[in-house]
Structure 1
Amino acid sequence: MRKGIALVIVLIAGLILGPLWAGNTGYVLISALGWTIELSLVAAIVLLLLAIIILRAVWRFVARIVRGTQWGMRWFGQRREAKAANAYQEGLNHLLSGDYRAASAAFNRTWQLRKQSSDALLACYAAQQHGDLKQAQDWLAKVDRADELELARTILSLRSAPELSGQHLTILNELVVKHPQHPELLRLALKALQRHHRWTQVIELLPNAQRLEALSATDLDGLTEQAYYEVFVEHGRSSSSALQQFWQNLTRDTRRQPAVRRAYVTALHLFNEYEAAGKVVARGLKRNELKLPNLIEANLLKPSTELRDYLQDALKKDGDNPFLLHALGQLAFQTGDYALAQRALRKAAELAPSSRVQLDLARTYEAQGDTAGAVNAYRQAWKKA
């Protein structure tokens, strides 16, 4: 305000002193209804400024009186609400078009006009979408609903500083219970629990994550396998019987999930329980719960009686199945039967050439001292990669 007054004073002084210094003040002639008024240019400008100031003061005085009446309050209220509605609609349009900065400004105008919590929440969302997390936090402070405030504040904190998620684990658990239908909260909770190795809690949230489609199918499958593997390993470190008991205590539907079964097989391999792992793999293949190409790629095939019997029986029915041949070749190589492994892998490479089968074939050539064969197989693997 002081700067504005000083600027006006300087301007008036310039208008007065400038013409006087130049020796030509100029004049303004006003003629109306037989009256003639002649003013200097400086005086005319000063009078115009004074008139503007007086008119603004009169307008504010009249407006204040009118607002005090019932009619005035209704008229100004409707006008204010109309402006708020227009700004609100403008903000929504900007949100739909992805212009979050403009949406934030529009919702800011809406809030100034009507002060509703929904406007503050939308302004908060728009601010965080265009990266202004400080402004988003300020908008949250204007929300008068404690539950929404805590939820939004936690989500913002986890987005802005995921490395500090350990500070929010307690409130996260409470919010997930209070808001079971909130997919973004669930996603952030899973990330935080995963970061801090709370695998049992991750497993508890997996069914809800699947129901809400909070994660893509690939991400959900990977997280399921990782979480169950970590829990299996924890039990396996106690004893092999503890690991087996935990597996048996899972529901049948859970045990039949491919990711859970793969996690159990991997944990059994870690503790050298190859026969038990072979049984789980063979039964999973028989029930079509596991896919042989995935097991081959993940190195989840280890020598065991039941798995070898399954592969041999399957090959009797389908001797030209490249995946069965590849699997048999992997098992034969691990037991030292390099000749059988080479035959099976060579036929698998002829039927369905791939970089993986060529790499496994190269290992059999190396084991037998056939350098030329190994180099050729590696070259083929490189071409298929």
Structure 2
Amino acid sequence: MIRLLFYAVLILAGLIVGPKLIEHKGYVMIAVGEWTVETSVIGAVLILLVAFGLLQLLEWAVVKGINLTGFGLAYPARRRREKARQHTLNGALALAEQDWARAEQLLAKGAESGPLPAVNLLSAARAAHHRGDDAACQGYLQQAEQIKGAETAVALTKVRYLLDDERLAEARQHWDALSDKQRSKPQALRQALNLYRRQGDWDALAKLIPALTKHRVLDAAALAQLPAEVEAACLQQKTTLVALEQRWKGLSRGLRKDQRVQLAYLQGLARFEQFDSARQLLLDKLDKQAPQPALLALLPALSGDAAESLSHVLTRRYPQSQQVELLDCLATLAEQQQDWRGATEHRKAALAQQATPARWRALVDLQERLGRRDDAINSYRQLIGVLEQERTS
């Protein structure tokens, strides 16, 4: 509507001004040196319009020529980028299919002219690592390391692959060479946790716990269990009774109450033949209502020459209990006293609640000791049935 109004106003102006211009043509004179050009106003306007049109045509021709020339010159590079993009796509698909050889080949080609060469090289290194070609893997990582911004990714990838190959000493060297900024990344902390665990460097892992907590590398439950895991492992590593006692006394009350830490300390006491103190501590830690299975399983190893008295203590404390772990413990203590009949009764009571291959084997051994061959053969058949059931399930 506005355009039509504009055209109408333009036509009306032409109708009004046109006769005036025809009646009063006027003239335009241009003098340059000895040259003089004289024409009417209408002629000058027409010359200007034609000149403007020629200039526009010339501009279009020049721009078009430049564009065509640039298009032709850029075609090889554009073609290479398109091929690199296609190689990267096909390589990523091959990587997802775990076709490592094809993925490595395509991703390496895509790195040459692709927009993200670091990603291509790291992916090619992954494929080479899965193929077991360490030389090719390291070659891709070295190339990627030269790309600005990829240093941290390359460093962490090296540590991860060394861990995968069980080259723990080399992985530790690479980890120690990382900067503080690189070590603070959650991925790096997770690798350090894995590395320290597998190396058994529990003191280093203990120092790492604050950083793991700060960056929330693990969930809350796993973080809560980590201090107990570290202290239990440290107690197991102690080579002298003095060092064991010092570590135990330096623990907080909460860690001393943790069952894994208690077991590690008790096992350490047994390792240094401190059976009396270990038995006393274990008996003190037993729950009055339902004794802890892990502690009951350890008790026979701490019995020394007190198997009979331990049996009496457990019987008095839990006269009506039929807890299967308690029955196993009483059976083992009876076997240590060579009370084969009592041990047999406890084994049968435990089997009535939960039949396992270990319990059937123990019962077969007891029945053979007592000379009950028929019962032993029948129990052996039951053992075979349980083993078959486990294989099929």
* TM-score, length of structure 1 as denominator length: 0.59
In structure 2, the residue matched to 1:113 is 113
Number of equivalenced pairs:
303
Paired residue type of 2:235: F
Q: Following the alignment from structure 1 to structure 2, what is the Cα–Cα distance between the partners of residues 311 and 287?
A: 10
Q: Do the aligned residues in 1 keep the contact of 2:121 with 2:140 (CA within 8 Å)? A: yes
- C-alpha change, 1:287 and 1:248, in structure 2 (3 Å) is farther
Mapped to 1, the partners of 2:70 and 2:288 lie a distance apart of: 78
Which residue of structure 2 lines up, in the alignment, with residue 60 of structure 1?
none
Residues 106-147 of structure 1: CA deviation (Å, up to 9, x unaligned): 212211113722221122112212332221111111122433
What is the aligned counterpart of 1:171 among 170, 174, 183?
Answer: 174
1:332 is matched with which residue?
A: 334
More deviation, 98-107/282-291: 282-291
Q: Deviations over 1:278-312 (max 9, x none)?
A: 45545665299985279539965635899757733
Return closer, same or farther for 1:168/1:374 CA change in 2, 3 Å cut-off: farther
Contact 1:329 1:340 in 2 (8 A): yes
Q: Which residue of 2 aligns with 1:84?
A: 84
Partner of 1:185: 191
Deviations 1:155-174 (A, max 9, x none): 434545x3x53344343345
Name the counterpart of 1:269: 270
Q: Is the Cα–Cα contact under 8 Å of residues 236 and 264 in structure 2 kept in the other structure?
A: no
Residues 1:212 and 1:139: Cα distance change in structure 2 (over 3 Å): same
Q: What is the CA-CA distance between 1:180 and the residue it aligns to?
A: 4.0
**Aligned mate of 1:357, from 356, 359, 369:** 359
8 Å Cα contact 1:326-1:345 kept in structure 2: yes
Gap change, CA 1:287 and 1:147, over 3 Å in 2: farther
Work out the CA distance in 1 between the residues paired with 2:288 and 2:69. Answer: 81
Cα distance, 1:351–1:152 mapped onto 2, change above 3 Å: closer
Partner of 2:235: 232
Q: After superposition, what is the alpha-carbon deviation per residue over 1:21-58, rounded to whole angstroms, capped at 9, x for unaligned? A: xxxxxxxxxxxxxxxxxxxxxxxxxxxxxxxxxxxxxx
1:315 to 308, 313, 318: 318
For 2:209 and 2:270, the matched residues in 1 are separated by 25
- Alpha-carbon spacing, 1:341–1:289, altered in 2? closer, same or farther (3 Å): closer
Distance 1:97 1:354, change over 3 A: closer
Maintained 8 Å contact 2:296/2:326: no
1:292 and 2:293 correspond? yes
Name the CA distance, whole Å, in 1 between partners of 2:69 and 2:288: 81
Residue identity opposite 1:89 in structure 2: L
The DSSP-based 3-state class of the residue aligned with 1:320 is: coil
Structure 1 CA distance for aligned equivalents of residues 77 and 299 of structure 2: 68
Deviations 1:173-194 (A, max 9, x none): 4559344424873476247514
1:183 and 1:126, CA in 2 relative to 1: closer, same or farther beyond 3 A? Answer: farther
CA contact under 8 A between 1:355 and 1:380: conserved in structure 2?
no
Is the CA contact 1:315–1:321 (under 8 Å) kept in the aligned structure 2? no
Match of 2:154 in 1: 149
Q: Look up the equivalent residue of 1:321 and give its one-letter code.
A: Q
Residue 141 of structure 1 aligns to a residue whose secondary structure is helix
Give ranges in structure 2 of 5+ residues lacking alignment. Answer: 1-65, 388-393
CA distance 1:364–1:104, shift in 2 (3 Å): closer
Q: Which residue of 2 aligns with 1:14?
A: none
1:324 partner SS: helix
1:76-95, Cα deviation, whole Å (9 max, x unpaired): 55544333333222222222
Matches within 5 A, 1:203-242: 231-235=234-238, 237-239=240-242, 242=243
% identical equivalent positions: 19
Distance verdict in 2 for CA 1:238–1:255, change over 3 Å? closer
- Which of 1 and 2 has greater Rg? 2
Alignment RMSD, CA only? 4.7
- Residues 358 and 381 in structure 1, CA contact (< 8 A), matched pair in contact too: yes
Matched-pair contact (CA < 8 Å) for 2:300–2:329 = no
**CA shift at 1:206, angstroms?**
8.2
Instruction: Please say if residues 330 and 360 of structure 1, whose CA atoms lie closer than 8 Å, have aligned partners that are also in contact.
Output: no
The amino acid of 1:133's aligned partner reads D
Matches within 5 A, 1:124-163: 124-143=125-144, 144=146, 145-160=150-165, 162=166
* Equivalent residues of 1:90, 1:103 under 8 A apart: yes
User: In the TM superposition, what whole-angstrom CA distance separates every residue of 1:301-340 from its partner, at most 9, and x where no partner exists?
Assistant: 6358997577335633x44333322222222333565554
- Counterpart of 1:181, as a letter, is Q
